[in-house]
Structure 1
Amino acid sequence: MNTDPGFIAAVEEAKKGAAEGGVPIGAALVGKDGTILGRGHNMRVQNGSATLHAEMSALENSGRLPASAYEGATMYTTLSPCDMCTGACILYKIKRVVIGENKNFMGGEEYLKSRGKELVVLDDEECKQMMEKFIKEKPELWNEDIGE
């Protein structure tokens, strides 16, 4: 079991999203000093939002921060980030992205690497199972979430 507080927060957020009937993806933004700056989960279903993915929610919940707060930060996410969330990590100069799993969806990982971001893929069984269950039970919501 992973004991990293940032990853634990992301998984807690994913579970919260699932309990609310949404897409079970969570994220946490952790500063270079280890402080959780913001955390969030996919809120597209709950808020009727086109863009409120977990990583965007974590950034939003971080509040307005100086650029220096993002540099050296780590984004923890339970699923490989989509192109939009990949772009946000690049825009805010987030140094490192820790991914719970990328078997159910492979996002912009190669682009992140090409932009000098450090990637860690945990291949976490709990994250995989949450997404597998959601995709099986709600394929229409999943396809909508990934733009298909």
Structure 2
Amino acid sequence: MIEKDAPEVTAAPEDIRYMKEAIRQAKKAAALGDVPIGCVIVYQGKIIGRGYNRRMADKTVLAHAEIIAIRKACRKMGDWRLEDCTMYVTLEPCPMCAGAIVQARIPNVVIGCMNPKAGCAGSVLDMLHEEGFNHQVETKINVCREECSGMLSQFFKDLRKKRLAEKEQAKQQTAEENSVEKTSSFTKGEKVKAQP
């Protein structure tokens, strides 16, 4: 298993450049209210597939950044095999995405930060390096880690704050509705007593 708190690596300039594009994609997800995960796929120095998490926007569990980028790259290449490509993704792939990476025969994956709850490049499972599969993937981890993990941390901090505010607002609204009902009942009772 991969050490989850491994330090940020000194990455090649092209790895940083493409990871920064994956980060730009992730910010699009955040703008939609989705978990900020972004992905790009590169072939011969050109981006052939981009994707960002759209689960909430598209209302489907299949709308992960990696899956979207793989679809676009396959369309661009005219093949389901992406054998000479490199994927850059801001968060360690989940089981579904790791499976798609193996199936697409992507040889290299560069990961921004690890995912200790669902990662399948060594954190929870190690699907990308599984010797029993017919394809294994070379990985580089923690490229632009601080920026990738910071973006996720901020998103979830803001989400918790928003949910807490919504909960407080719902509580206040319920209290106000209960207060109106009590006042309304009391007023009706007074009117009944006032009649001769």
Fold agreement, TM-score > 0.5? yes
CA contact (8 A) 1:97 1:118 kept: yes
Alpha-carbon distance, 1:52 to partner: 0.5
Alpha-carbon distance, 1:103 to partner: 5.1
The residue number in structure 1 matching 2:138 is 118
Identity across the alignment (%): 36
Does 2:68 correspond to 1:48? no
CA contact (8 A) 2:80 2:104 kept: no
CA contact (8 A) 1:104 1:128 kept: no
TM-score under structure 1 length normalisation: 0.82
Q: In 2 relative to 1, CA 118–24 (structure 1 residues): closer, same or farther, beyond 3 Å?
A: same
Determine which structure has the larger helix proportion and give its number.
2
Aligned residue for 1:138, secondary structure, equals: helix
The residue number in structure 2 matching 1:77 is 89
What is the distance in 1 between the residues matched to 2:103 and 2:80? 13
The residue number in structure 2 matching 1:146 is none
What is the distance in 1 between the residues matched to 2:106 and 2:21? 18
Q: In 2 relative to 1, CA 105–26 (structure 1 residues): closer, same or farther, beyond 3 Å?
A: farther
Number of equivalences = 138
- Alignment gaps of 5+ in structure 2: 1-9, 161-196
One-letter amino acid matched to 1:112: L
Residue deviations 1:69-99 (CA, integer Å, cap 9, x gap): 6102111100000000001100010001100
Q: Find the structure with the greater CA-based Rg.
A: 2
RMSD, aligned α-carbons:
2.1
Match of 1:92 among 82, 101, 104: 104
Aligned residue for 2:28, secondary structure, equals: helix
The residue number in structure 1 matching 2:158 is 137
CA contact (8 A) 1:79 1:105 kept: no
The residue number in structure 2 matching 1:14 is 26
Aligned residue for 1:60, secondary structure, equals: helix
Alpha-carbon distance, 1:54 to partner: 0.6
- Alignment gaps of 5+ in structure 1: 140-148
The residue number in structure 2 matching 1:143 is none
CA contact (8 A) 1:104 1:131 kept: no
